[in-house]
Amino acid sequence: MKLTEEEQAMLAGEMGAPRQWAIDHMMKVGAMFDAPDLVEISQAHMMADPESLGEAGVAFLEGLAAGDAKVVVPMITDPRGVDLDYYRPLGQTEEMADLERRTIAACAAMGIAMTNTCINYQTIMPPVQGDHVAFGDTGVVIYCNSVLGARSNFEGGPSALAAALTGRTPRYGLHLPEKRRATRRFRVHEQPQGLTGWGVLGAVIGRASGSYWEVPVIEGIDVIPTSDEIKHFGAAMASYGSSPLFHIVGITPEAPTLEAAGGANLPREEITADDLRALKSNFGGRGDKVDVVVFAAPQLSLVEMQTLAGLLEGRRRHPGTAVIVCTSPSVYADALRLGYVETIEASGAKVLQGTCFYNQYAREIGEANGWRRLLSNSAKIVNILGGYGYAPALASMEECVESACAGEIV
Amino acid sequence: MTVLKCHPGIGSRIEGYALVSSDNFSARYDLDRQQGVFSRPEHRLAGESYVGRILVMNTAKGGVASAWMLHEMKARGMAPAAILFNRANTILAQGAALAGLTMCDRFEDGDITQLIQNGDYLIVEPDEGRVTVAR
């Protein structure tokens, strides 16, 4: 890999041990993907919840911080695993909370802004078209690549941190224009409706494309999604397919036409109404008892908080059904100011800030609370939680609210 | 004895027994990392222990958490010995780089989930881009 003089100095350890680790890490990863050099980035976003980090990961972060590591570009964080204002009622332990506190302290020492959100593109500083960034969180990456035209690979926590310590990332994958061209072409025959409809379509296309290295281009959509709808679409696609980029003809910036996205000569694969129904019918059944209803993955925008507050106003959840709502700290502050948090919590639901349900020790809190049958309007979370001992089911936000109040799937 | 060529990978030379599935892989979605078994009911390896085995899978799927998780699993001695993919993704490669876990992908002779059988004894040499199947 070709390195500049400054990068060579980093590799030689002349700029401290943390940067030496960071460059060495990037060279290992870059070699695996034949990166010719490193590309400068404008910002980084790190996934580092304590469940994923474990003791080993937290000690690693503390080691870097003790070595006086400092980020050189703005770096923000993905949702945390513990809301320190509300963890005992969830059945989270002091040990979990301590790992969380240690993580926060190490990150803060390195100059990382603890924004704790997977909707940073709606709340903090969205990148612009052509911007090279090093973002963690699959939902963040696919949205920023696809909807905003920025350029990022999936950067797991270690490599996002390496990028922030050096201001660079290996130039491979979606930093290269040729890797952003469509490789699969899908035609949609039914217009997606609402957050869950978009999520289901994203899940179907993600499952069909099924690899990090496939780029779907989608034809046949003639409704303009809201930011929240396309957020659910991308998050589901990334979750089911490990997809980091999609194009929608006439909607996303690199696909003004099918030809521009590179899809004109690809064979067309049809997405039918049956494909969408088949995905939905995998989950749950009417009349089944619901233990917990979750609104998360991605965290809720202010508009989703407003909608949910409207649906829950004057209602009361069933005593046997918990309702958990996850949002970012910045949205939480606004939702509090606007009265949405009060309305939602008056129903018996709980709003958590800075966390997301699936990365807050989902298995352990499920066991602690006896939660197994779970309902959510997020296709992403329904996909994830099957491996965490839950029987998850998918429904719209309205159906989720009705079921939460009835205590069973309606 | 069969020698399979692949793209040069990450980590050091390792030997062990293969655990093979044509499914895709996510440390977060598919595993009970405390018990060291595949826990996702839909996964073809559900119930199988992966600790110390050389996983042979199609590709990676899902989220970014697997990068930290490979490191954490390795530190607890509850990791696979290596992972071979038809095609790795960025996250698993990043996790392998941090954890010092052996990982290779892009095999010349075709689908490794077909070329390697469950229980085969493998010698993985990532620097050389070589996997030897000792039957």
Are A223 and A321 within one domain? no
Query: What's the pLDDT tens digit per position in B59-92?
Result: 988 788 899 999 999 999 999 999 999 999 999 9
Are A36 and A154 within one domain? yes
Whole-number pLDDT of residue B42: 86
Instruction: Please tell me whether residue A175 adopts helix, strand or coil conformation.
Output: helix
**How many domains would you assign to chain A?**
3
Whole-number pLDDT of residue A112: 98
Are A288 and A399 within one domain? yes
Instruction: Please tell me whether residue A105 adopts helix, strand or coil conformation.
Output: helix
How do the domains of chain B map onto residue ranges? 2-133
Are A207 and A157 within one domain? no
The ipTM estimated for the assembled molecules is 0.94
Are A135 and A77 within one domain? yes
CA B91, CA B103: separation in Å to the nearest integer? 12
Q: Does B61 touch chain A (CB under 8 A)?
A: yes
In the structure encoding, which two tokens stand for residue B45, read together?
Answer: 């390896």
- Identify which has the larger pLDDT, A279 or A410: A410
Residues whose CB is less than 8 angstroms from the CB of residue A287 and which lie 6 or more positions away in sequence, other chains included = A408, A409
CB contact under 8 A, A47 and B7: no
Query: What's the pLDDT tens digit per position in A192-216?
Result: 999 999 999 999 999 999 889 999 9
Q: Given this structure, which CATH class describes domain B2-133?
A: alpha beta
Cβ-based contacts of B60 with chain A (< 8 Å): 212, 242
In the structure encoding, which two tokens stand for residue B66, read together?
Answer: 């697997």
Are A127 and A229 within one domain? no
Rg (chain A; Cα; Å): 21
Are A121 and A216 within one domain? no
Are A140 and A61 within one domain? yes
Residues whose CB is less than 8 angstroms from the CB of residue A242 and which lie 6 or more positions away in sequence, other chains included = A138, A154, A206, A210, A211, A212, B24, B59, B60, B61, B62, B89
Whole-number pLDDT of residue A279: 78
Evaluated on CA atoms A302, A345, A383, A221, the torsion sign reads negative
Residues whose CB is less than 8 angstroms from the CB of residue A406 and which lie 6 or more positions away in sequence, other chains included = A318
- What would you measure as the largest C-alpha separation in chain A, in angstroms? 66
Query: What's the pLDDT tens digit per position in B83-128?
Result: 999 999 999 999 999 999 999 999 999 999 999 999 999 999 999 9
CA A294, CA B129: separation in Å to the nearest integer? 45
Instruction: Please tell me whether residue A96 adopts helix, strand or coil conformation.
Output: helix
Cβ-based contacts of A240 with chain B (< 8 Å): 61
Whole-number pLDDT of residue A387: 78
pLDDT of A280 strictly over 80 = no
pLDDT of A281 strictly over 70 = no
Of A157, A174, A191, the residue that ends a domain is A174
Are A334 and A186 within one domain? no
Question: Which of B69, B90, B104 is most worth mutating to test chain A (most A CB atoms within 10 A of its CB)?
Answer: B90
In the structure encoding, which two tokens stand for residue A248, read together?
Answer: 């929608």
Of A218, A252, A280, the residue that ends a domain is A280
The residue segments making up the domain with residue A112 are 5-174
Of A237, A257, A280, the residue that ends a domain is A280
pLDDT of A69 strictly over 70 = yes
CB contact under 8 A, A242 and B60: yes
Whole-number pLDDT of residue A277: 85
Chain A residue with CA closest to B77: the answer is: A56
> Nearest Cβ partner of A48 from B41, B68, B88?
B68
Cβ-based contacts of A212 with chain B (< 8 Å): 59-60, 87, 89-90
| pLDDT band for position A220 (cuts 50, 70, 90) | very high
Are A190 and A318 within one domain? no
Q: b/e map of A68-94 (b: 16 or more CB within 10 Å)?
A: ebebbbbbbbbbbbbbeeebeebbbee
Q: Does B86 touch chain A (CB under 8 A)?
A: no
Kind of pairing, strands B14-20 and B121-125?
antiparallel
Whole-number pLDDT of residue A282: 58
Query: What CATH number is attached to the domain comprising A336?
Result: 3.30.499.10
Start-end of H helices in A71-225? 94-109, 120-123, 138-146, 157-166, 194-209
CB contact under 8 A, B98 and A384: no
Are A402 and A313 within one domain? yes
Whole-number pLDDT of residue A311: 98
**How many helices (H) and strands (E) in chain A?**
17, 14
Are A41 and A164 within one domain? yes
